[in-house]
Amino acid sequence: MSWVRRREIPLLIFAITFIIGCFGYYIEHPAMGKIYSTLFDWVLLMSNLALGTGLIAMTLYHGKKIAKREKGYEMSFVVFGALILMFVSCYASPASREYLYAKIYTPASIAILCFTGFSEISGLYRAFRVRSVEAFFLALAGFILLMHFAPVYGFFIPGVEKVASWLLDNPAMGASRGIVIGVAIGTIAIAIRVLLGYEKAYTG
Amino acid sequence: MSEKGGLIEVLGRNYRQVIWIGVLILCFLPAFVPLGIPISIDKLTIKAYKCIEELEPGDLVLVSPDFTPGMWVEVGPAMNAIMQHLFMKKVRIVIVSFYIDGPVLAEKILREIDIGDAKYGVDYVNLGYLPGMETAMAAFVENPRRIEYDYYGTPVEELEIMKDVKSIGDFKLYIFACVTWPDPWIRQFSGKVPKIITVISPAAISLVMPYVSGGQLYSMLPGTKGGAEYEALMKRPGVATSIMDATSLCLTFVMLLVIVGNISYWRKRLRGE
Amino acid sequence: MIKGELASTFVVLLVFIALYLYCIYRAVRGKPPMIRKVPGLDAMEEAIGRAVEMGRPIYYSTGVGSLDGGDMPMTMAGMTLLGYSASLAASRGAELRYIAAVPQLVPIAEDMLRTAYRDAYKPEQITFVPSQVALMSTIVGTYEREKPAANFLLGALYWETVVIAEAGARAGAMQVGGTGRLYQVPFVVALCDYSLIGEELLAAGAYVSREPSQLGSILASDIIRFITIALIIIYVIGSLFGVDASTILRF
């Protein structure tokens, strides 16, 4: 096995960054502070590089698709066209970049989101079907919160706001805290398993 | 089969088409016929409003519009309202984004509101996008001067507003808008700035409430509803207020459908189908 | 040296780490704890069998949760189950397809599917979409066209849950969903045939692999959970008598 494919390398990187990150947070020492700060610089640098890597990967992927005339290759031309157009507009004219972003990209994104919104509403309709006692309580709580988010009900039925606030402040918050604590405990467990080399899902 | 029963059966069978057509009509209707449905104001919106109202002119406020253009309808109008208030209070605003679309959305907000005589670089600045999400947040908190150039490529040393930004403690308030898991922002900024307000998708309210009651978050605006309430407090009705008409109608429609769907389901179940 | 206000949390963290190390060590040395039956995980096998009978594909998604922060444990559990279901599907001759919305997960999934399917692996089994909105619209379209036999939705799920589960239900797929993210749990329960709630998902890796180290860490997590519950009860009782019991952990 090539040394770059060895699992020990990502594990070692994880271990070093974990220990610096963990101790840097708790320990106050000039040397530790400097290492902690340098680590941040590296991560920021790598995040910037990752954007570049993403661009290369995307170009290779779509380039290959066009070269092999794979299914839907026509759309890859659209990707390249949009990429070049956005890149050129950034340097040629900020006004055209704003136009592309505000008048084309933003409405297109909102339109796709709204399209999924229809599915979401029909999903809610199915989710609130009272099949059991638990489903009844889910539907009831959902109903009260729907009224809370439709401001007209809060105005005409003041009690709705109070009940919805109680639901959010008490049962929902209690459950939220339970989940937050559970996830925090799970995160420590995963971190330790990764540190010991038992958790390998993230390396494939 | 009675007429009513027939209708319920049809709705039960073809619910998808009925829902989609109904939602489409109810979304468009208020755009042509504004209904002016009244709204009630939540205590957290009042708390957020008062917090900004108490700021002194010249105070430094940090803002992160960390969402995608697709989510504009969810949180954008509320961000417009809150930013409008900040400019009216003549505080100094530093915008930094941890989402790639943030800087452009910040520009959109600045274009859509009335910034009065505020000058770029003196009263407000857009520092652009800092990649790395939570790590980037931690890095910014550790040293806000880590960013060397603003969104337009101007060195931050040349910007007057940044001369007073030495550490994260110089900011009086941090406002962030997000539509997902708000924990990263709260984890990194809580305790570092005196007050944090979030503009968040209503779906994430139950995730945010423990932080509000625990004091890590000062207040929150639940999406467009919060925006509409904020506009009502400012007495400047805007986009959020107009969206509320459609929201009220659509949610009422959804509630009706849930009732009809359940009647249809239970009729079938009782008949043993 | 240790920041004053963080001293107590640092000590608690060290105690918890020690507990994890002990439980993992104990399990690896031959005393793995027992784990209760999780119906949702057993149902995955049934769903794969259904896909073989129907000759239709299985779709798998881990949502938009990434490999960082609070999402990490859930995403990792989702990926572990992807590996499990892929090998199960490959051995039975069913086709499993994965739709990813997080780029970091693509090479991991590729590796898993390659290992499971070997020569039968096709690159089309993995689709990458760059955002949540794209994920939702891709799934709605794909499920409508391909009518999958099974839909697995396991990981750190955000509000794509309703859309994906609704698309799966409309396509008539047998659905297994699971997440630890609070506000998606009700939708998973209401829309999926089988669900894994919170810790059930995190324990899934251990359940399917029966690896002693994983079982050991689950035992440690449970002990910590009991300690936390005990502290909450002490705090509540203390509050009733006007005593601030939270000072126990302030030193």
| pLDDT tens profile B125-184 | 999 999 888 888 988 998 899 898 999 889 999 999 999 999 999 999 999 999 877 888
The pLDDT, as a whole number, for residue B15 is 66
pLDDT band at residue B81, thresholds of 50, 70 and 90?
very high
For the stretch C68-100, pLDDT in tens is 767 878 888 899 899 999 999 999 999 999 999
The answer to whether residue C198 neighbours chain A at the CB level (below 8 Å) is: yes
Locate the domains of chain B by residue range.
3-33+246-271, 43-237
The answer to whether B206 contacts A176, with C-beta atoms less than 8 Å apart, is yes
User: Above pLDDT 70, what percent of chain B?
Assistant: 94
Report the b/e string of B182-200 with b at 16+ CB within 10 A. bbbbbbbbbebbebbbbbb
The answer to whether A125 contacts B261, with C-beta atoms less than 8 Å apart, is yes
- Ranges of residues in chain A whose predicted pLDDT is under 70: 1-7, 115-116, 200-204
Would you state the torsion angle of the CA atoms of residues C10, C8, B185, A11, taken in this order, to the nearest 10 degrees?
A: 10
Give the least confident one: B8-17, C58-67, C111-120, C125-134.
B8-17
Report the b/e string of C68-106 with b at 16+ CB within 10 A. ebbbbbbbbbbbbbbbbbbbbbbeeebbbbbbbbbeebb
| Contact residues on chain C for B70, CB-CB shorter than 8 A | 131, 133
Mean pLDDT score, C219-243 = 90
Instruction: State yes or no: pLDDT of B10 exceeds 70.
Output: no
**What angle, rounded to 10 degrees, do the helices at A171-196 and C72-92 form?**
70
Give the least confident one: B12-21, B97-106, C20-29.
B12-21
Listed by number, the residues of chain C in 211-230 with a beta carbon closer than 8 Å to a beta carbon of chain A are 211, 213-214, 217-218, 220-221, 224-225, 228
pLDDT band at residue B3, thresholds of 50, 70 and 90?
very low
**In chain C, what's the furthest Cα-to-Cα distance?**
68
The pLDDT, as a whole number, for residue B9 is 63
- Residue B42's closest chain A neighbor by CA? A161
Mean pLDDT score, C129-155 = 90
Are C183 and A158 in contact by the 8 Å Cβ rule? The answer is no
Residue pairs spanning A and B at CB distance below 8 A: 151
Residue pairs spanning A and C at CB distance below 8 A: 146
- Residue C69's closest chain A neighbor by CA? A187
Q: How far is B68 from chain A (nearest CA, A)?
A: 8
Q: How far is B194 from chain C (nearest CA, A)?
A: 17
Q: Locate the DSSP E strands across chain A.
A: none
The answer to whether A190 contacts C111, with C-beta atoms less than 8 Å apart, is no
List C-alpha distances in Å: B193 to B166, B189, B214, B217, C158: 13, 6, 15, 10, 28
| Contact residues on chain A for C134, CB-CB shorter than 8 A | 112
The answer to whether A40 contacts B225, with C-beta atoms less than 8 Å apart, is no
- Chain C neighbours (≥3 Cβ pairs under 8 A) are A, B
The pLDDT, as a whole number, for residue B259 is 87
Mean pLDDT score, C230-245 = 87
Are A196 and A15 in contact by the 8 Å Cβ rule? The answer is no
- Chain A neighbours (≥3 Cβ pairs under 8 A) are B, C
| Domain B43-237 classification at class level | alpha beta
Locate the domains of chain A by residue range.
1-92, 98-127, 129-197
Best B45, B130, B206 member to test A by mutation, with max A CBs in 10 Å, is B206
Reference B51, options B169, B161, B174, B176; nearest CA is B174
Facing C69 at nearest CB: one of B68, B134, B203: B134
The pLDDT, as a whole number, for residue C173 is 94
- Residue B183's closest chain C neighbor by CA? C70
The answer to whether residue A95 neighbours chain B at the CB level (below 8 Å) is: no
The answer to whether residue C86 neighbours chain A at the CB level (below 8 Å) is: no
| Contact residues on chain B for C70, CB-CB shorter than 8 A | 181, 183
Instruction: State yes or no: pLDDT of C63 exceeds 70.
Output: yes
The answer to whether residue A35 neighbours chain B at the CB level (below 8 Å) is: no
The answer to whether C182 contacts A175, with C-beta atoms less than 8 Å apart, is yes
For the stretch B212-243, pLDDT in tens is 888 899 999 988 889 999 999 999 888 888 88
For the stretch C17-28, pLDDT in tens is 999 999 999 998
Mean pLDDT score, B39-52 = 92
Q: How far apart are CA A47 and CA A52, in angstroms?
A: 9
For the stretch C169-196, pLDDT in tens is 889 999 999 998 877 887 788 788 999 8
The answer to whether residue A105 neighbours chain B at the CB level (below 8 Å) is: yes
For the stretch A4-15, pLDDT in tens is 566 678 788 888
**What angle, rounded to 10 degrees, do the helices at B15-32 and A106-127 form?**
130
Q: How far apart are CA A176 and CA A182, in angstroms?
A: 10
Are B229 and B42 in contact by the 8 Å Cβ rule? The answer is yes
- Residue B17's closest chain A neighbor by CA? A122
| Contact residues on chain B for A113, CB-CB shorter than 8 A | 70-71, 73
Facing A193 at nearest CB: one of C1, C189, C217: C217
Chain centroid to Cα B22, Å, comes to 26
Facing B23 at nearest CB: one of A102, A118, A152: A118
The pLDDT, as a whole number, for residue A51 is 78
The answer to whether residue C24 neighbours chain A at the CB level (below 8 Å) is: yes
Q: How far apart are CA C106 and CA C111, in angstroms?
A: 9
Facing C182 at nearest CB: one of B133, B184, B206: B206
The answer to whether residue B186 neighbours chain C at the CB level (below 8 Å) is: no
The pLDDT, as a whole number, for residue C251 is 62
**What angle, rounded to 10 degrees, do the helices at A171-196 and C7-28 form?**
60
- Residue B182's closest chain C neighbor by CA? C70
Mean pLDDT score, C130-158 = 90
Angle value at C-alpha B199, between B93 and B227, nearest 5 degrees = 95
Q: How far apart are CA A187 and CA B269, in angstroms?
A: 44
Q: How far apart are CA C233 and CA C217, in angstroms?
A: 24
| Contact residues on chain B for A124, CB-CB shorter than 8 A | 254, 258
Instruction: State yes or no: pLDDT of B1 exceeds 60.
Output: no
The pLDDT, as a whole number, for residue B92 is 97
| Contact residues on chain B for C69, CB-CB shorter than 8 A | 134, 181, 183-184, 187
Q: How far is C120 from chain B (nearest CA, A)?
A: 37
Residue pairs spanning B and C at CB distance below 8 A: 28
Q: Which residue ranges form the domains of chain C, and what is each CATH number?
A: 4-32+222-249 (no CATH), 39-209 (3.40.50.720)
Mean pLDDT score, B110-122 = 94
| Contact residues on chain C for A115, CB-CB shorter than 8 A | 137, 140
Mean pLDDT score, B50-56 = 96
Q: How far is B265 from chain A (nearest CA, A)?
A: 8
| Contact residues on chain B for A125, CB-CB shorter than 8 A | 15, 19, 254, 257-258, 261
For the stretch B17-45, pLDDT in tens is 777 788 888 888 887 777 777 888 888 99
